[in-house]
Structure 1
Amino acid sequence: MAAGLVGVVLWQNSYDMDEQRVSIRHGGHTLNGVLATPKDGRKRHGLVVYIHGDGPVGATHDDGYKPMWEANAKAGYASLSWDKPGVAGAPGNWLDQSMDDRANEAAAAITWARARPDIDGDRIGLWGASQAGWILPKVAAKTPVRFVIAVSSAINWLQQGRYNLLAKLRADGASTARTMAEIAKSDTTRRLLERHANFEEYVRAMGADADGMTADRWGFISKNYTADATQDLRALRGVPVLLTLAGHDINVDTADTERIYRKVLDAGGALTVKHYPDATHSLLKQSIEQSDLKTTLTALFSPRSLFAVGFLDGQRQFLSAEAAMPHHETPARSAMARGARSRVPPRAL
C-alpha cells in the first residue's frame, strides 16, 4: 500500500513538460531560474515570464507553479521563472528591491530569452500575481510583450493594505474596539512612512506591538508603499490582458482592481476578465485552502485540483488563442509597432 501511495504521488507530481535550470545575468549578479518547455517536438516556443507576488518565493513556488506551466505547455508555450534574490541560495536580498528594480530584472530576463534559439521573441508575455500588479505594466513600458496574465493583481499599496486589514478583522469577527485600535495602529504606521521614519523610530512608536516587523521589511515597505498601478497600466493599452479575479480574496479589493483595469484598458478591446467565485487570493479552491490538511493532501495526491475550477483551462485557452493568431493581427503587435509613443515611462517610487 505504501509503495502504491508513493507511486500515485510521483505520478500526480510528474508534468508533461521538460524543465531545465538556467542562469540569467543581470546587474552584475546571476538570477537562478527554471525554464519549462513543451514536449511537442517544435524547435521554438512562445514564452510566459513569471513575476512573483510578495514574499521569499523560489522559481517553482514550491512546485505550485508547475500545474500552470503544464497548462502553458499544452498551449505551446514555455515558462520562465527565477528565485528571488536571497532565496534558495540566490545572491542578494529581495527586500532591498523596489518595484522598478523588479521590473528591470524581468526586462533583463526577457532580453536573455529573446537571444535563445528555442524561444520565439515575438511571442513573449507576462504572468504575474498580487504584488506583480505593480510590476507588469512597468515591464511592458520597458520592452514589448505579446500578452499579460494578471492574477489577483493590486492597484494601490495603501488602499490594498487597508482593505486587507479590514477584511481580516471581519473574518476574525473582531469587536469594534479592536477594529478601531488596529486602524489607529495602521494610521500611525502611515504617518511614520510619510515622514520617512527609520526602523528604530517605528519600533519606538509601536513598542511591543510591532507584529514581527524587521528592519529589512520596514526598508522594503518604505521603498514601495507609494506604489500605484493606475497610470502605469496605460503601457498595456493594445496588449491582450487576461485579468483573473477570485471570489474570496481578502488581500486585494478585486472590485477596485476590475474597475481600474476596465477604465484604463477597456477602450482598446484587449481586456478579458475572468471571475472564479470559489477561489481565494492564490486562486486555490477556498474549500481546500482553509484546511492545512486538505491543502497538503491535495498537493501530494492531486496538485492540479488545488486550483479553482476552470483556472488552469482558462489560462490554457487564453494562450492557445494567442498562439493561433498571426503576429500582424494581434493588438500586441500593433502596440509594438507604435513603439515608445505608446509606452508610459514607469513612475518613480
Structure 2
Amino acid sequence: MCAKTQPRRRGLRIAAWSLVTVLVMATGLVGVVLWQNSYDMDERRVTIRHDGHTLNGVLALPRDGGKRHGLVVYVHGDGPADATHDDGYKPLWEANAKAGYASLSWDKPGVAGAPGNWLDQSMEDRADEVTAAIAWARARPDIDGDRIGLWGASQAGWVLPKVAARTPVSFVIAVSPAINWLRQGRYNLLAELRADNASAARVKTEVARSDAIRRLLGRRATFEEYVRAMDGDTYGVTADRWGFISRNHTADATRDLRALRGVPVLLTLAGHDINVDTADTERGYREVLEAGGALTVKSYPDAAHSLVKQSVERSDLKITATALLSPRSLFADGFLGDQRQFLEELGRVGRDRGHGS
C-alpha cells in the first residue's frame, strides 16, 4: 500500500510545483507588462469647450518640477481615434516629457462617448477644433503659451498648416503626411495592389472603379448615386463615410504649407509607406519650406506608415506582444529619440535667444 501511495504523492508534489511555477511566471509576466506600460509623466483627464460641445482630452505633464511647460498638441490621422490612440501615443508623450514638454490630445467626436461624429468634419472643422484647444491651453498657468506646437499624423497633414494660419505655433512635427488627397488615394490603391501581387486584369478593374468614384465626387454625387453606380456594392463605404470623402477629397496642402514658412518643422517619413507617397510629400515640403531653413526631414527605412517597425506591424502576434511587453520598441529605431532631440533643440534655441535679448 505504501509503495502505491509514494508515486501518487510524488505526482501531486510535481503537479503542485508546476502550478506554483506557472503562477510565479504569470505574476512576473503581469509585472513586466505593468512596468513596461508605466510612463514617466502625469496624465490628467481634461475637458475643452468648443463650438457648443465638449472635447474629452488627456493632458500629459512632465514630472520635472517645472511650473510651466511647452506643449505638443496632437492631431489624429484618419479613423475613430481616442485621446491616447489606444495607448499608442504614450511612448511619444513620455519622450516629450523628457524634453520638458507636455502633450495634449482628445477623443475624436463620437469616439469613447464624446459628442458628435468625426465623419461630419471637414479639414477646416478639424483645424478650428485644434485652434480652440490651443486657446484653452494658453489660458492655463502650467503651459507656456509661447512654446506650443503641433504633432500630426497622416490625414493631419491637411490640418496642421490650416491651424498655423489661424494661430501662432512654435513648431510642427508632421508624421507621414500627404500633400494631395486624390494623388494619395491613387498611390495607396496601386501600392496595395502591388503588395497583393494583383493581376493586370484586377489592376485595370480597380483603377476603372477608382476613376468612376472620382467622377462621382467631381459632380458631388449623393451616396445613393454612388451605390447605384457601384451596382449595389458599397465596398465598405457607409453614407457617413461617403459624406466625409465628398467633403474633403479636394484637400491639397501645397498652398496651406506656406503658413509654416519660418516655423521649425520636423517631417518624418517611413520607408515602407503604402498609404502615402513619401517622395511626393518630401518634394512638396521642400519646395515650400526648405528655403527658410526651418525644415528637418527624417526618414526611417524600417518603418511602415504609422512609423511602427514594418516587421512588427505585419504580424498581429508581434504587434500585440510588443505593445504589451515593450511598447517603446514598437516604433522605428530612432523615431522617439529624434522627436525628443527636436524638442530639446527648440528649448536650447529659446534659451539662447532669451540670454541674447
Map 1:123-162 → 2, pairs under 5 A:
123-162=147-186
1:282 corresponds to 2:306: yes
Q: When the two structures are aligned, how many residues end up with a matched partner?
A: 330
Map 1:310-349 → 2, pairs under 5 A:
310-326=334-350, 329=353
After superposition, the C-alpha distances for 1:114-137 in whole angstroms (9 at most, x for unaligned) are 000000000000000000000000
1:102 corresponds to 2:126: yes
Q: 2:73 and 2:277 mapped to 1: Cα distance?
A: 25
**Who is 1:347 aligned against?**
none
CA shift in 2, pair 1:327/1:209, >3 Å: farther
Return the letter of the residue paired with 2:270.
A
Map 1:23-102 → 2, pairs under 5 A:
23-102=47-126
Q: 1:328 and 1:89 mapped to 2: Cα distance?
A: 45
**Alignment equivalent of 2:245, drawn from 210, 215, 221:** 221
Q: 1:138 and 1:268 mapped to 2: Cα distance?
A: 19
Find the residue that maps to 2:147 and give its secondary structure.
strand
Return the letter of the residue paired with 2:122.
S
Q: 1:48 and 1:322 mapped to 2: Cα distance?
A: 12
What is the deviation of 1:23?
0.2
Find the residue that maps to 1:43 and give its secondary structure.
coil
Find the residue that maps to 1:189 and give its secondary structure.
helix
After superposition, the C-alpha distances for 1:295-326 in whole angstroms (9 at most, x for unaligned) are 00000000001000000000000000011112
Q: 1:242 and 1:228 mapped to 2: Cα distance?
A: 19
Return the letter of the residue paired with 2:288.
V
Q: Which runs of 4+ in 1 moved over 6 A?
A: none
Q: 1:254 and 1:327 mapped to 2: Cα distance?
A: 34
What is the deviation of 1:328?
8.3
Find the residue that maps to 2:133 and give its secondary structure.
helix
Which structure 1 segments of 5+ residues have no match?
331-349
What is the deviation of 1:209?
3.3
**Who is 2:236 aligned against?**
212
Larger-gyration structure (1/2): 2
Find the residue that maps to 1:36 and give its secondary structure.
strand
After superposition, the C-alpha distances for 1:219-239 in whole angstroms (9 at most, x for unaligned) are 000000000000000000000
**Alignment equivalent of 2:259, drawn from 225, 235, 240:** 235
Q: 2:39 and 2:158 mapped to 1: Cα distance?
A: 30
Q: 2:168 and 2:143 mapped to 1: Cα distance?
A: 15
After superposition, the C-alpha distances for 1:106-153 in whole angstroms (9 at most, x for unaligned) are 000000000000000000000000000000000000000000000000
Find the residue that maps to 2:60 and give its secondary structure.
strand
Q: 1:268 and 1:18 mapped to 2: Cα distance?
A: 36
Q: Which has the higher contact order (CA 8 A, sep 6+)?
A: 1
Map 1:174-185 → 2, pairs under 5 A:
174-185=198-209
Which structure 2 segments of 5+ residues have no match?
1-24
Q: 1:275 and 1:194 mapped to 2: Cα distance?
A: 35
Q: 2:220 and 2:312 mapped to 1: Cα distance?
A: 41
Identity of aligned residues (%): 80
Q: 1:113 and 1:239 mapped to 2: Cα distance?
A: 20
